[in-house]
């Protein structure tokens, strides 16, 4: 049986913000389309945004979550898929289902991922996994939970390291708790503290951070539906003063989960909606889709309220360099394709069928281009990759023929001529002239030489 795919979302699925059927989805929100993603946890490390995400399975009805995914960007519109970087298999004490909202943070050259995990006995607990790289692999740092109260409310950890080096972790539903983490980041000192100044509309999903001397506690507001509210304090442990909503609840999304960063002079808030689900069905399942908006602070540190998630998302920062090797799984928008991961190539684009496509935004051909190399594999008759500029029906820059390579994991590099082009363009890699599953696609690179 042919597996379910998000076919032609950007062309015919038209996501509407007033109805679960018919969505106008012509741009970048939701920012990930190849998988259902939720509970965004952005981390800025060096010059890159690392987005750790929960993963709803394609056939999820309730919460069906086994692992955590990673995506990266340097321009806020083209997101590179790094596949699964952590899973419930890390934790010997975890149940088979229940990989909920994580957060990852860097300290002393290591990366700590705090994971709310369903236990085998049915309650929730918070584990901590560690890696030497933000790309993983992550391993269980303790062999047991960091927080374990035999409660279903021990979820959604958020961690922040203050200026003097003290780390704090907040979490909880419907109450909000915190502890002071030790410098090893895998233990804590003192008692678990329940905050008395919890905002009246707090539900879950806290996101704790500091900006310009103000401490912020953003969160998912009371269910259901959930919006995103926030409180401020002059102290990392409160008391917290409710300041308002970052985004009001909306019937199109029963849940939400804030993740907030500053990056390259801008402020951003991540969350999720159900736009990919509503493009296919009017039945509610837990199949969520991460979204992103630019956020603005007032002079006093308060946050200007946003409307519900737009279909466009934020503007691109800078441009993409076409003369470097670019991963095919670096995507601003797509229709029909999926991604998989192998030991041989890492993540690649697969499940490619006739008229599927990938959009890459803001590619800068400042030196022109005369040829294109692509890495592909096929165990069928293959097909073609048409490269269009600026729209699906835009100028055809060139066509790459993909033939049978002898195996789905036997990769070859194909080179094709490109018509003269300069300037900044959105690129559409349109897959045509085949039947069924045509080929896999790993990377691409333009050249100024034939």
Lowest mean pLDDT among 5-14, 245-254, 357-366, 403-412: 5-14
Dihedrals φ, ψ of 11, to 5°?
-105, -50
- Provide the CB-side half-sphere exposure for 98 (13 A, CA): 20
> CATH homologous superfamily for 30-295?
Glycosyl hydrolase domain; family 43 (2.115.10.20)
**What tens digit of pLDDT does each residue of 261-306 get?**
999 999 999 999 999 999 998 899 999 999 999 999 999 999 999 9
Banded model confidence at residue 435, pLDDT cuts 50, 70, 90: very high
The 3-state secondary structure of the chain reads CCCCCCCCHHHHCEECCCCCCCECCCCCCCCCCCCEEEEEEEEEECCEEEEEEEEECCCCCCCCCCEEEEEEECCCCCEEEEEEEEEHHHCCCEEEEEECCCEEEEECCEEEEEEEEEECCCCEEEEEEEECCCCCCCEECCCCCCEEEEECCCCCCEEEECCCCCEEEEECCCCCEEEEECCCCCCEEEEEEECCCCCCCEEEEEEEEEECCEEEEEEEECCCCCCEEEEEECCCCCCCEEEEEEECCECCECCCCCEEEEECCEEEEEEEECHHHHCCCCCCCCCCEEEEEEECECCCCCECCECCCCCCCCCCCCCECCCCCEECCEECEEECCEEEEECCCEEEEECCCCCCEEEEEEEEECCCCCEEEEEEEECCCCEEEEEEECCCCCCEEEEEEECCCCEEEEEEEEEEECCCCCEEEEEEEEEECCCCCCCEEEEEEEECCC
Mean predicted lDDT score pLDDT of the chain: 92
Q: Which residue shows structure tokens 């709310």? A: 116
CA dist 317 → 20, 40, 73, 78 (Å):
31, 20, 10, 10
pLDDT at residue 120, rounded to an integer: 83
Banded model confidence at residue 28, pLDDT cuts 50, 70, 90: confident
| pLDDT at 1 exceeding the cut of 50 | no
Angle among Cα 273, 60, 170 to the nearest 5 degrees reads: 55
Q: How far apart are CA 164 and CA 235, in angstroms?
A: 13
| pLDDT at 13 exceeding the cut of 80 | no
- Map out the domains of the chain as residue ranges: 30-295, 326-447
> In terms of Cα–Cα distance, which of 326, 315, 323 is closest to 367?
323
CA dist 375 → 20, 97, 363, 443, 445 (Å):
38, 36, 19, 5, 9
Task: For the chain, give the percent of residues with pLDDT over 70.
Answer: 94
Banded model confidence at residue 151, pLDDT cuts 50, 70, 90: confident
**What tens digit of pLDDT does each residue of 358-413 get?**
999 999 999 999 999 999 999 999 999 999 999 999 999 999 999 999 999 999 99
Give mean pLDDT, residues 308-329: 96
Q: How far apart are CA 92 and CA 104, in angstroms?
A: 20
> CATH homologous superfamily for 326-447?
Galactose-binding domain-like (2.60.120.260)
> In terms of Cα–Cα distance, which of 305, 415, 319, 434 is closest to 369?
415
| pLDDT at 21 exceeding the cut of 80 | no
pLDDT at residue 8, rounded to an integer: 39
Task: For the chain, give the percent of residues with pLDDT over 90.
Answer: 90
Q: How far apart are CA 255 and CA 257, in angstroms?
A: 7
Structure tokens at 296: 């603005």
**What tens digit of pLDDT does each residue of 212-244 get?**
999 999 999 998 999 999 999 999 999 999 999
Start-to-end Cα distance in the chain: 43
pLDDT at residue 219, rounded to an integer: 98
| pLDDT at 195 exceeding the cut of 60 | yes
CB contact at 8 A, 103 and 346: no
pLDDT at residue 26, rounded to an integer: 38
Dihedrals φ, ψ of 275, to 5°?
-60, -40
CB contact at 8 A, 387 and 399: yes
Residue 426's DSSP bridge partners are none
Please state whether beta strands 346-350 and 383-389 pair in parallel, antiparallel, or not at all (unpaired). unpaired
Banded model confidence at residue 201, pLDDT cuts 50, 70, 90: very high
Banded model confidence at residue 420, pLDDT cuts 50, 70, 90: confident
Q: Which residue shows structure tokens 């000192």? A: 189
């Amino acid at each position: 049986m042919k597996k379910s795919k998000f076919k032609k979302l950007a062309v015919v699925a038209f996501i509407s913000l007033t109805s679960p059927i018919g969505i106008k989805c012509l741009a970048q929100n939701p920012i990930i389309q190849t998988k259902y993603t939720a509970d965004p946890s952005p981390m800025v490390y060096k010059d890159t945004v690392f987005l750790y995400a929960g993963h709803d399975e394609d056939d999820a009805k309730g919460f069906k979550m086994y692992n955590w995914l990673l995506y990266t960007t340097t321009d806020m519109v083209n997101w590179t898929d790094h596949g699964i970087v952590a899973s419930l298999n890390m934790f010997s004490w975890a149940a088979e289902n229940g990989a909920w909202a994580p957060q990852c943070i860097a300290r002393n050259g290591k990366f700590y991922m705090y994971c709310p995990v369903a236990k085998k006995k049915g309650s929730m607990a918070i584990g901590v996994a560690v890696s030497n790289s933000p790309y993983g692999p992550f391993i269980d740092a303790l062999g047991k939970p960091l927080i374990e109260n035999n409660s279903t409310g021990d979820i959604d950890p958020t961690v922040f390291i203050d200026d003097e080096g003290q780390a704090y972790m907040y979490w909880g539903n419907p109450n909000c708790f915190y502890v002071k983490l030790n410098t090893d980041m895998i233990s804590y000192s003192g008692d678990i503290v329940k905050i008395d100044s919890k905002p009246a509309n707090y539900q879950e999903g806290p996101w704790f951070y500091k900006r310009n001397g103000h401490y912020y506690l953003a969160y998912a507001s009371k269910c259901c539906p959930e919006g995103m509210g926030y409180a401020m304090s002059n102290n990392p442990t409160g008391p917290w003063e409710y300041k308002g909503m970052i985004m009001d609840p909306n019937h199109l999304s029963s849940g939400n989960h804030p993740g907030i960063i500053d990056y390259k002079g801008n402020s951003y808030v991540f969350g999720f909606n159900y736009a990919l689900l509503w493009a296919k069905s009017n039945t509610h399942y837990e199949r969520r889709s991460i979204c992103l908006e630019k956020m603005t602070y007032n002079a006093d540190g308060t946050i200007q309220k946003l409307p519900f998630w737009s279909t466009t998302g934020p503007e691109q920062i800078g441009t993409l360099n076409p003369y470097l090797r670019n991963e095919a799984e670096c995507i601003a928008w797509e229709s029909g394709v999926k991604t998989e991961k192998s030991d041989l190539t890492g993540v690649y684009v697969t499940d490619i069928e006739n008229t599927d496509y990938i959009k890459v935004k803001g590619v800068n051909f400042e030196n022109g281009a005369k040829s294109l190399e692509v890495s592909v594999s096929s165990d069928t008759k293959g097909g073609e990759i048409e490269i269009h500029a600026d729209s699906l029906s835009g100028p055809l820059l060139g066509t790459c023929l993909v033939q049978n390579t002898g195996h789905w994991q036997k990769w070859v590099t194909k080179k094709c001529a490109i018509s003269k082009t300069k300037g900044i363009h959105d690129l559409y890699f349109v897959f045509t002239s085949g039947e069924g599953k045509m080929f896999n696609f790993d990377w691409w690179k333009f050249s100024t030489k034939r």
